Structure 1
Amino acid sequence: MNSFFKRIFLKEDPDVYRDKDSHLRQVLTVKDFLALGVGTIVSTSIFTLPGVVAASHAGPAVALSFLVAAIVAGLVAFAYAEMSSAMPFAGSAYSWINVIFGEFFGWIAGWALLAEYFIAVAFVASGLSANFRGLIEPLGLVLPKQLANAYGTSGGVVDVIAVIVVVLVGLLLARGVSGAARVENILVVLKVLAILLFVFVGLTAIKASNYSPFIPKYHPNPDGSAFGGWQGIYAGVSSIFLSYIGFDSIAANSAEAKNPKKTMPRGIMGSLLLAVILFVSVSLVMVGMFKYSSYANNAEPVGWALRESGHPVVAIVVQTIAVVGMFTALIGMMMAGSRLLYSFGRDGMLPKWLGKLNDNKLPNRALVVLSTVGVVLGAVFPFAFLAQLISAGTLIAFMFVSLGIYALRPREGKDLPEPGFKMPLYPVMPALAFLAAFAVFWGLDIDAKLYALYWFIFGLVIYFGYGMRHSFLSERKGKRLEDKK
C-alpha cells in the first residue's frame, strides 16, 4: 500500500518535458497569443450571455456579474502567468501539476480540462451552426431539420454545419500554427470591430430609464434560481464564467511560444484585460437600449436590439462578422485541446501514439482525435446540454493551479527557472484565487456538478486501469521503487 501511494504521487522531472517539447516549433508571439486569447474568450458568449443573464438573474447589474467574474479570472490568470513563464510546457495545468504535485493530481487537473476542450469545441461549433442558419434562413436557404439539428432535437439526425466547421478548422491547424495564427489574427480584428460597431451604434439608442433600478430587488425565479440583489449578481457570475475560461488555451500552447518568460504573461493578462472591457461595454449598452426583461429567451440579443432600434443593416453586418468570428474560438480551443491530448500521449497516460509529432513537428494525431470527438459531440448533442460541463471542469483546474503557486515558489531558481512574472501579494493572492474559483464552482447548477462528478469517476477508471500502468513516469521511477523494496 505504501508503494502504491508513493507511485501515484511521483513527480515528473521538468527536464523531461523540456526535452520532449523542444521538438515543437517556437513561433508564437505576444500578438499571436493576444489574438488567440481574445479570440477564444470573446466568442459565442459575448453575443448571447449579456442579454440572457440580465433577464434571468442580474438585470442591468449584469455588467457587475461580468466584472466580478473577470476579477476571479484575473486572480487565477496571475497564477497562470507565473506557471507558464516558469514552465512553458504543452498541456498547461496538466503538465504543471504533474511537476509540482505529482502524476495523480496532474491527471485530475488535465482530465478536468479535457472535458472543457472536448465540449467547448462542440459547443462553439453548435453555436456557430445555429447563428449561421439564422443568417441564411431569411434568404430562403433552409436546411432540412434532419441536417440542421442535433440527434433527437426537433427531428434532427446530425448538425451538418457543426461537422463541417470542425473539419475545416482541423484542416487549417493541420497545416501548422503559424498559418492558423495569421487567420486567427485577422478574424479577431474583424470580431472586435463588429463588437465596437454594436457598442457605438447602441450608444445612440440608450435610455437612462432602462438602468433603473440598476440592481433589481431580489426574488427567486420559478426554477429556484436567484434574480436581483447580490444573489442575482452571484448567480450571473456562475452563469457567465465560461466566458473567461479561454486564457487556458494560451497556456496550453506555451511550448510553442517565442521567449515564453515575457510572451506568456503578456498574452494571458493582456487578452483578459481586453476581454473584460469588451464584455462590460456590450453588457451596459445592451441593457441600456431595452429593458432587461426584453431579452428573456432571446437567442440573439445583439441582433435583435439593433433591429428593434432601427438598424437592420448594422444588425446583419454585426451578426455576419460574429459568425465568422466564432471560428477564432474554435481555432483556439482546438489548438489547446490537441496540445493537451498530445501531452497525455507524450507521458503515456493515454495511448502513446497520441504523443507523436508528424514530419512538420505538429501533434496531428491528437488533433484528429479531438476533431473526431468534437464532430460527434457537436453533431449529436444539443447546445444546452453541451454548456453544462465547460465551466465545471475548468474551475477544478483553476483551483489546482492557484494552490500550485505555493509548491512552485520554493523550486524557482533551483530545478525550475526564475519566471519572468510572479504572482503579486504572495502568499495571500494564491489563496484568494483558490477561494474565488471555488465560490464560482459552488454557484454552478447541480447538473453541472453532477456531470463533473461522472467525468471525474470516468477519469479515475482510466487512470487506474491504464494511465498509471503505462505512464513513462511510472515505468521510469516505479521500477526504482520496486527495486528498493
Structure 2
Amino acid sequence: MHNFIKNFIKKENPAIYEDKDSHLTRTLVVKDFLALGVGTIVSTSIFTLPGVVAAQHAGPAVVLSFLAAAVVAGLVAFAYAEMASAMPFAGSAYSWINVILGKGFGWVAGWALLAEYFIAVAFVASGLSANFRGLLSSIGIQIPKQLANPLGTNGGIIDITALIVVIAVALLLAHGTTGAARIENALVVLKVVAILVFIIVGLSAIHIQNYLPFIPKYHTNPDGTSFGGWKGIYSGISMIFLSYIGFDSIAANAGEAKNPEKTMPRGILGSLIIAVILFIAVSLVLVGMFHYTNYANNAEPVGWALRHAGHGVIAGVIQAIAVIGMFTALIGMMMAGSRLLYSFGRDGMLPKWLGQVNPKGLPNHALSLLTIIGIIIGSMFPFAFLAQLISAGTLIAFMFVSLGIYVLRPREGKDIAIPSFKMPLYPVLPALAFLGSLAVFWGLDAQAKLYSLVWFIIGIIVYTFYGARHTTD
C-alpha cells in the first residue's frame, strides 16, 4: 500500500518528457492549430445541437446555454494555454498533471480524457452519418436502416457511413500530420464559409414570434429532465458543453508544435473565440427560422430548416459542405486521441507498443487502437447518448487542469520554464474555472455520471494492476 501511494503521488521530471517526445516531428504552426481547433470545436455539434437542445431543454434561450458554456470553456482555456505554453508535451492534461501533481493523478485525468476521445470519434462520425443520410434523402436515396443506424437502434446493425469515414481519416493520419494539416486547413475554411452562408440566408427567414417567450415556462420532460426556465438553460449547458472541448485536441498535439510557447496559447484561445461567435450566431438564426419544437429528435436541423424555408438548393450545398467539413473534427479528435494513447504507452501506463512510433515519427499503433474502439462504440450507441458522455470525461480533466495552475505557478522559472502566456487574474480565475466545470458536470444526467463512475473504477483497476507496475521513470 505504501509503495502504491508513493507511486501515485510521484511527480514526473519535465525534462524526461522533453527527451521522450524529441522524436516527434515539430511541423505544426499557429494556422494549423487554429484550423485544428476550429475544425474540432465547430464540428458535428454546430449543425446538430442548437436545434436538439432548444427542443429538449432551453427553447430560444439555447443561445444563453451556449454563452454560459462558452464562459466556462473560456476560463478553462486560459488554464490550458498557460499549461501548454509551460509544458508543451504530447498528451495534454495527462502529461501536465503527471508533472505537477503525480503519476496517479495524471492517470485519472488522462483516463477521463481517453473516454472523451473514444466517444468523440464515434459521436462525430455518427453526426456526419446523420447529415449525410439527410443529404441523400433530399435527393430520394435511402440507406437501408440495417446499415444506417447503430446496433439495436431503429432496426440498425451498423452505421456503415460512420465506419467508412473513421477508417478513411485513420488512413490519412497514418501518412503524416503535414498532409492532414493541409487538408484540415482547406476544409475548415470551406466549413466556415458554409456556416456564414447559412447565417446570411437564414436571417431572411427569421420570424420574431419564434423567439417568444425567449425563456419558456419551466416543466419536466417525460424522461425526467428539465425544460424551460433557468433549469432548462442549465440542462442545456451540460449537454452542449461538448461543443467547446476541441481546444484539448490542440494541447494534445503540443509535442508536434513549432515554437509551442507562443503557438499553443494563440491556437487554443483564438480557435475558441472564433467558435463561440459562430455557435451563438447559428443558434439565434436556427430558433428564429422555425419554432424550436420542430427540431425535436432532428440530427440535421440546419439542413432541415433551410429546406423547409424554401432554400432546398442552398440546403443541399451547405449540408454537403457540412458533411465534408465534419472530417475536420474527426482529424482533430483522432490526432489528439492517438497522441494521448501514445503518451500512455510512452510512460508504460498501457502496453509500450502504444508508445512506439514508425520511421516517420508517427504513433500509428495508438492510432489503430483508437480507430478500432471508436468504430465499436459508434456501432453500439446512438447519437444523443454519446453527447453527454463526452462532456463527462472532459470536465473531470478540466477540473484537474484548473486546480493545477496553483501548483504550476510556484515551479515556473525553476524546473519548469516561465510560459509566454499566463492565466490572468490569478488566483481568482483558476478557482472560477474549477467551479464552473464542476457546475457543468453536476448538471449532466444521472446516467452520464454513473457511466463516468464506472469508467473511473475501471481506470483505477487498470492503474493498480498494470500502470503502477509498468510505469517508467
**TM-score, length basis structure 1:** 0.95
> What is the CA–CA distance in structure 2 between the aligned matches of 1:225 and 1:248, rounded to whole Å?
29
Q: 1:89-104 counterparts in 2 under 5 A?
A: 89-104=89-104
Asked if 1:171 corresponds to 2:138, the answer is no
Q: Are 2:299 and 1:299 equivalent residues in the alignment? A: yes
1:387 counterpart SS class: helix
2:428 alignment counterpart: 428
Q: Which amino acid aligns with 1:429?
A: L
Q: CA deviation at 1:116?
A: 0.4
1:214 Cα offset (Å): 1.7
Q: What is the rounded CA distance, in whole Å, between the counterparts of 1:445 and 1:67 in structure 2?
A: 20
**Residues 1:105 and 2:108 aligned together:** no
1:25 maps to: 25
Give, in whole Å, the separation in 1 of the partners of 2:143 and 2:217: 44
Aligned equivalent of 1:272: 272
The DSSP-based 3-state class of the residue aligned with 2:142 is: coil
* Paired positions, count: 473
Q: Does 1:5 align with 2:16?
A: no
Letter in 1 for 2:289: M
In structure 2, the partner of 1:346 is 346
Q: Deviations over 1:415-457 (max 9, x none)?
A: 0000010000001110000000000000000000001001001
Q: Is the 8 A contact 1:388 1:451 kept in 2?
A: no
Q: Which residue of 1 aligns with 2:87?
A: 87
1:251-293 alpha-carbon deviations (Å, 9 max, x no partner)? 0001111111110000000000000000000011111112222
TM-aligned CA distance change 1:239 to 1:471, over 3 Å: same
- What residue number does 2:390 align with? 390
Q: Extract unaligned runs of 5+ from structure 2.
A: none
**Structure-1 separation of matches of 2:59 and 2:146:** 37
SS at match of 1:156: coil
Partner in structure 1 of residue 331 of structure 2 = 331
Q: Distance in 2 between matches of 1:154 and 1:114?
A: 29
1:270–1:399 Cα change, 3 Å: same
Q: Counterpart in 2 of 1:361?
A: 361
Match runs of 1:174-213 below 5 Å? 174-213=174-213
Q: What residue is the counterpart of 1:399 in the other structure?
A: 399
Partner of 2:127: 127
Provide the residue aligned with 1:61 in structure 2.
61
CA distance, structure 2, for counterparts of residue 2 and residue 338 of structure 1: 33
Q: Indicate the SS of the match to 2:170.
A: helix
Which residue does 1:238 correspond to in 2?
238
- Retained in 2: the 8 A contact 1:159–1:380? no
Equivalent residue letter for 2:265: P
Structure 2 CA distance for aligned equivalents of residues 405 and 199 of structure 1: 38
Give the structure 1 partner of residue 253 of structure 2: 253
> Are 1:306 and 1:314, in contact at CA under 8 Å, matched by a contact in 2?
yes
Alpha-carbon shift at residue 368 of structure 1 (Å): 0.9
Residues 57, 385 of structure 1: alpha-carbon distance in 2 compared, 3 angstrom cutoff: closer
Q: 1:127 corresponds to which letter in structure 2?
A: G
* CA drift at 1:403: 0.2
Moved more, 286-295 or 414-423: 286-295
Which amino acid in structure 2 is aligned with residue 409 of structure 1? Answer: R
- The residue that corresponds to 1:438 in the other structure is 438
* Segment drifting more, 122-131 vs 391-400: 122-131
The reply on whether 1:49 has 2:49 as its aligned counterpart is yes
Task: Give a deviation string over 1:183-221, Cα, whole Å, max 9, x none.
Answer: 001111111111101000011111222222222222222
Once the two structures are aligned, what percentage of the paired residues are identical? 74
Partner SS for 1:195: helix
Whether the 8 Å contact between 1:33 and 1:267 is mirrored in structure 2 is yes
8 Å contact 2:345–2:351 — kept in the other structure?
yes
- Residue in 2 aligned with 1:469? 469
- Amino acid corresponding to residue 296 of structure 1 in structure 2: A
- Contact kept? 2:67, 2:280, Cα under 8 Å: yes
Distance 2:381 2:60 in 1: 32
Counterpart contact for 2:130–2:300, Cα < 8 Å = no
Moved more, 135-144 or 65-74: 135-144
**Shift of residue 225, structure 1, vs aligned partner:** 1.9
- Does 1:217 pair with 2:217? yes
CA distance in 2, matches of 1:173, 1:244: 23
Partners of 2:359 and 2:169 in 1: CA distance = 20
Inter-partner Cα distance in structure 2 for 1:242 and 1:45: 8
Residues of 2 paired with 1:143 and 1:217: CA distance?
39
1:15 aligned onto 2:15: yes
Distance 2:258 2:405 in 1: 23
Counterpart-to-counterpart distance in 1, 2:146 and 2:447: 28
Of 376-385 and 264-273, more deviation after overlay is shown by: 376-385
- Equivalent position of 1:415 in the other structure: 415
Q: Rate the CA distance shift 1:316–1:246 in 2: closer, same or farther, 3 A.
A: same
How far the C-alpha of 1:313 sits from its partner, in A, is: 0.7
Separation (CA, whole Å) in 2 of partners of 1:212 and 1:75: 31
Give the corresponding residue for 1:283: 283
Distance 1:245 1:147, change over 3 A: same
What's the CA shift for 1:232? 1.5
Deviation, structure 1 residue 140: 4.4
CA deviations 1:71-127 (Å, max 9, x no partner) are: 000000000000000000000000000000000000000000000001100111122
Q: Is the 8 A contact 1:355 1:366 kept in 2?
A: yes
Verify the 8 A CA contact 2:134 2:300 in the aligned structure 1. no
Equivalent-residue separation in structure 1 for 2:268 and 2:241 (angstroms): 16
| RMSD of aligned Cα (Å) | 1.2
CA contact (8 A) 2:46 2:282 kept: yes
Amino acid at match of 1:369: L
Contact 1:119 1:374 in 2 (8 A): yes
> Which secondary structure state, in structure 2, belongs to the residue aligned with residue 22 of structure 1?
helix
In the other structure, the counterpart of 1:454 is: 454
Compute the TM-score of the two structures, normalised by the length of structure 2.
Answer: 0.98
Alpha-carbon distance in 2 for matches of 1:275, 1:107: 30
Q: Which amino acid aligns with 1:69?
A: A
C-alpha distance in 1 between matches for 2:212 and 2:435:
32
**Cα distance in 1, alignment partners of residues 306 and 158 from structure 2:** 32
- Once residues 138 and 427 of structure 2 are traced to their aligned partners in structure 1, the CA distance between those partners, rounded to angstroms, is 57
Q: Distance in 1 between matches of 2:421 and 2:188?
A: 26
Q: Which residue of 2 aligns with 1:482?
A: none
Amino acid at match of 2:156: G
Task: Report Cα offsets for 1:314-352 as digits up to 9, x if no partner.
Answer: 111111111111100000000000000000000000001
Of residues 1-10 and 191-200 in structure 1, the stretch that sits farther from structure 2 once superposed is 1-10
1:37 aligns with 37
CA distance in 1, matches of 2:180, 2:164: 17
